[in-house]
């Protein structure tokens, strides 16, 4: 039966009004409610259900169902499942006469289903994202061809609106997860030491880099009551939030146990018992604890961790071994301490996690290896702890060839000093200026991006290619460029703009005849003059506890923060320009 002109005009207007309303609704739950209400109104049904397709679980689930509880159906099962699987509408004039109709719901609720109209919700790409099912026309007649046409027109708009709302919901979930990860990262970083301690008779240098926003590596420096120092390095199985939580738990347990004044072996044995009670069967943690005495003597306990590397001023290395199981595997494991012969002035003790020797990159994926670590330590040992630390980090970074590390990396280098000498802390070669940057050459490239960490690689690629294309840097500089831009860009997004994707970072490239300049500006407030009373604190205010700045200074000729910290100024001599004669 064809509708009269008046009803046709009414229905067309209703479909257009509803389509506009659906197009402007971005909240998924409100959108689904609007669709169900609109379908019931347009086809004059008694009640309507809307199913969404879960491709991962291969089933349908009702998100909105008038007069019914949640229903779950396997794809292909029942009337709605068949429509979802085939993408074809089903119009049943007499439900009880159709073998596909399941009467169980009517039996349990007392409802009597007479007629059913069920249509797929198909998006632009032809994928079925859901199913609409209308029951029982109010006039008692079955649904007709006109009802199918009107509902099909509405379903087209509804499918697109649902698809858009699902994309927006997934993006919000992603942003929420990124914010939660960043919060977890900030909490974790607050638990790590901001800088190595100043200790009589020892100089300590350290470095740590997570492969995820939150890492599972642990480093700590814990003073003992008798003037000794415990240096701890640990590595949790896995990555991400679970590994970070385990690391934090182990840190809390260890610091509490050390308050008792037990020996390192007893302390690690007690720590293992506490962790084993809490950990799942597939979680564990390796750890090495080295106790440094003021007279140069040292002992260590290893729980499944690489033993310390000892380099002697004579050019030899000690071969240390360890046999303890990783923490959390067996509750009755016991641990013994190994003694290291007294270290003389100039000797080095190196602790590290396996992310350093295991570093690798395509195409050969050859691991950097312990031999390279020993060789790098030996080559730079005469220059002291900090030089060794910087050299190892530079070598590992070069071995990665710009690739993302697959594991967290931690390094601690300890240098024995002449007795009673306190290691002076080097002044960080970084300043934060409240003023605007100085006059500079014209901009040759400038672009802004939202503060989204997932865009980081794309952004750095574009800036590096700009420098390479112009011949201002060489391919040999690529790894250094990625290290420098990564450090500053992450700082601008996550700290300057507080991870808000609505705020932008702007990168500009300038050059004169001698040097190129890259500026990275965020929309944060920077630091007030009172927030930076001592320039020696600048590193910890700007970057992740100052890590990375020393390496950046090895490559850059200038690294300065202007506008109180919201604009980073990175400059280096151009590769195609001769160095001025001295």
- State the pairing for strand pair 285-292/72-74: unpaired
Residue 335: the pLDDT is 95
| DSSP summary character for residue 46 | E
Contact 92, 101 (CB under 8 A): yes
**pLDDT one digit per residue (tens) for the chain, 582 residues:** 556 666 777 777 777 777 777 777 777 788 888 888 888 888 899 998 898 888 888 888 877 776 666 778 888 888 988 899 999 999 999 999 988 888 888 888 888 999 999 999 888 888 898 899 999 999 999 999 888 888 888 888 888 888 888 888 888 888 877 776 676 666 666 667 777 888 888 999 998 887 766 667 889 999 987 889 999 999 988 766 777 778 888 899 999 999 898 999 999 999 999 999 887 777 899 999 999 998 899 999 999 999 999 999 988 999 888 778 999 988 899 999 999 999 999 999 999 999 999 998 888 888 999 999 999 999 999 999 999 999 999 999 888 888 878 888 899 999 999 865 555 544 334 555 666 788 778 899 999 999 988 888 899 999 999 999 999 998 878 878 888 888 888 888 888 888 888 999 999 999 988 899 999 999 987 754 344 334 344 444 344 434 456 667 777 888 888 887 889 999 998 887 765 443
Euclidean distance between CA atoms 87 and 59, whole angstroms: 14
Euclidean distance between CA atoms 233 and 412, whole angstroms: 8
Residue 518: left if φ>0, alpha if ψ -120 to 50, beta else—which one? beta
Euclidean distance between CA atoms 30 and 101, whole angstroms: 29
Asked if residue 425 belongs to a domain, the reply is no
- Residue 480 and residue 409 share a domain: no
Q: Which residues contact 37 (CB under 8 A, 6 or more apart)?
A: none
- Residue 267 and residue 334 share a domain: yes
- Residue 266 and residue 138 share a domain: no
- Residue 226 and residue 202 share a domain: yes
Burial class (CB in 10 A: 0-12, 13-18, 19+), 277: exposed
Domain with 230 in it: 195-416
Specify the 3-state DSSP secondary structure of 69.
coil
Asked if residue 505 belongs to a domain, the reply is yes
Euclidean distance between CA atoms 470 and 465, whole angstroms: 8
Number of structural domains (the chain) is 3
Residue 186: the pLDDT is 67
Residue 542: the pLDDT is 40
Domain with residue 256: its CATH number is 3.60.40.10
Residue 487: the pLDDT is 82
- State the pairing for strand pair 558-562/431-432: parallel
Asked if residue 255 belongs to a domain, the reply is yes
Phi, psi angle pair for 494, to nearest 5° = -85, -30
- Residue 464 and residue 528 share a domain: yes
Euclidean distance between CA atoms 542 and 526, whole angstroms: 9
Domain with residue 558: its CATH number is 3.30.565.10
Euclidean distance between CA atoms 182 and 545, whole angstroms: 15
- Residue 67 and residue 130 share a domain: yes
**% helix / strand / coil in the chain, to the nearest 5?**
40, 25, 35
DSSP annotation string for 103-146: -HHHHHH------EEEEEEE-TTS-EEEEEEEEEETTSSPP-HH
Euclidean distance between CA atoms 395 and 91, whole angstroms: 69
Contact 214, 244 (CB under 8 A): yes
Residue 534: the pLDDT is 43
Q: Minimal CA–CA distance to 303: which of 261, 279, 278, 270?
A: 270
Euclidean distance between CA atoms 266 and 246, whole angstroms: 21
Q: In Å, what is the CA distance from 396 to each residue of 190, 408, 552?
A: 26, 12, 15
> 418-442 burial, b for 16+ CB within 10 Å, e for fewer?
eeeeebeeeebebebbeeebeeeee
Asked if residue 424 belongs to a domain, the reply is no
- Residue 463 and residue 378 share a domain: no
Q: In Å, what is the CA distance from 287 to each residue of 330, 350, 402, 407, 517?
A: 15, 14, 29, 16, 43
Asked if residue 184 belongs to a domain, the reply is no
Q: Locate 516 and state its tokens.
A: 């190129």
Euclidean distance between CA atoms 186 and 141, whole angstroms: 64
Domain with residue 134: its CATH number is 3.30.450.40
Q: In Å, what is the CA distance from 474 to each residue of 27, 397, 480, 571?
A: 49, 17, 11, 15
- Residue 359 and residue 247 share a domain: yes
Q: Minimal CA–CA distance to 503: which of 495, 513, 511?
A: 495
- Residue 222 and residue 150 share a domain: no
Q: Locate 393 and state its tokens.
A: 């980090």
Picking from 112, 138, 171, the residue at the C-terminal end of a domain is 171
Euclidean distance between CA atoms 511 and 571, whole angstroms: 9
Asked if residue 488 belongs to a domain, the reply is yes
Q: Locate 267 and state its tokens.
A: 């302390």
Asked if residue 291 belongs to a domain, the reply is yes
- Residue 435 and residue 364 share a domain: no
Contact 526, 563 (CB under 8 A): yes
Picking from 171, 204, 225, the residue at the C-terminal end of a domain is 171
- Residue 287 and residue 366 share a domain: yes
Residue 66: the pLDDT is 67
Euclidean distance between CA atoms 489 and 452, whole angstroms: 10
Asked if residue 580 belongs to a domain, the reply is no
Picking from 381, 416, 451, the residue at the C-terminal end of a domain is 416
- Residue 493 and residue 392 share a domain: no
């Amino acid at each position: 039966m064809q509708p009269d002109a008046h009803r046709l005009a009414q229905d067309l207007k209703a479909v257009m009004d509803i389509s506009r309303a659906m197009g402007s609704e971005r909240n998924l739950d409100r959108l689904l409610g609007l669709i169900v209400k609109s379908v019931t109104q347009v086809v004059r049904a008694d009640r309507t259900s809307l199913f969404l397709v879960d491709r991962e679980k291969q089933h349908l689930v009702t998100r909105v169902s008038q007069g019914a509880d949640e229903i779950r159906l396997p794809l292909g099962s029942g009337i709605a499942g068949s429509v979802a699987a085939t993408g074809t509408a089903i119009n049943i004039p007499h439900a009880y006469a159709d073998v596909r109709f399941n009467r169980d719901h009517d039996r349990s609720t007392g409802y009597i289903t007479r007629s059913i109209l069920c249509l797929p919700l198909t998006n632009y790409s032809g994928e079925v994202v859901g199913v609409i099912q209308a029951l029982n026309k109010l006039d008692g007649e079955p649904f007709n061809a006109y009802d199918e046409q009107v509902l099909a027109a509405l379903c087209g708009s509804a499918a697109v609106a649902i698809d858009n709302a699902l994309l927006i919901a997934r993006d919000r979930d992603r942003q929420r997860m990124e914010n939660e990860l960043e919060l977890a990262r900030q909490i974790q970083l607050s638990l790590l030491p901001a800088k190595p301690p100043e200790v009589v008779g020892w100089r300590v240098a350290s470095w740590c880099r997570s492969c995820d926003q939150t890492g599972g590596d642990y480093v700590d420096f814990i003073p003992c009551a008798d003037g000794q120092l415990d240096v701890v390095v640990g590595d949790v199985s896995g990555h991400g939030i679970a590994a970070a939580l385990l690391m934090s738990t182990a840190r809390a347990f260890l610091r509490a146990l050390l308050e008792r004044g037990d020996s390192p072996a007893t302390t690690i044995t007690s720590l293992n018992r506490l962790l084993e009670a809490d950990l799942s069967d597939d979680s564990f943690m390796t750890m090495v604890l080295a106790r440094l005495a003021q007279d140069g003597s040292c002992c260590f306990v290893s729980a499944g961790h690489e033993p310390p590397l000892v380099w002697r001023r004579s050019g030899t290395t000690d071969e240390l071994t360890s046999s303890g199981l990783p923490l959390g595997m067996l509750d009755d494991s016991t641990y013994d301490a190994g003694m290291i012969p007294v270290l003389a002035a100039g000797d080095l003790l190196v602790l590290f996690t396996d992310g350093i020797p295991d570093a690798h990159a395509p195409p050969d994926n050859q691991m950097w290896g312990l031999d390279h670590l020993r060789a790098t330590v030996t080559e730079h040992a005469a220059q002291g702890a900090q030089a060794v630390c910087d050299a190892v980090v530079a070598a590992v970074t070069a071995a990665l060839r710009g690739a993302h590390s697959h594991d967290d990396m931690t390094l601690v280098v300890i240098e024995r000093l002449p007795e009673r000498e306190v290691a002076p802390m080097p002044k960080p070669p970084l300043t934060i200026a409240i003023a605007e940057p100085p006059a500079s050459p014209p901009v040759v490239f400038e672009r802004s991006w939202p503060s989204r960490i997932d865009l980081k690689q794309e952004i750095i690629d574009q800036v590096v290619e700009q420098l390479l294309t112009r011949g201002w840097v060489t391919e040999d500089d690529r790894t250094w460029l990625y290290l420098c831009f990564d450090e500053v860009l992450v700082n601008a997004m996550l700290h300057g703009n507080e991870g808000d994707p609505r705020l932008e970072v702007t990168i500009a490239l300038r050059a004169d005849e001698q040097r190129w300049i890259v500026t990275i500006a965020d929309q944060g407030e920077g630091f007030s003059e009172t927030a930076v009373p001592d320039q020696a604190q600048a590193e910890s205010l700007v970057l992740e506890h100052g890590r990375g700045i020393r390496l950046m200074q090895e490559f850059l000729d200038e690294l300065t923060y202007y506008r109180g910290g919201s604009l980073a100024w990175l400059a280096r001599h151009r590769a195609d320009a001769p160095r001025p004669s001295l």
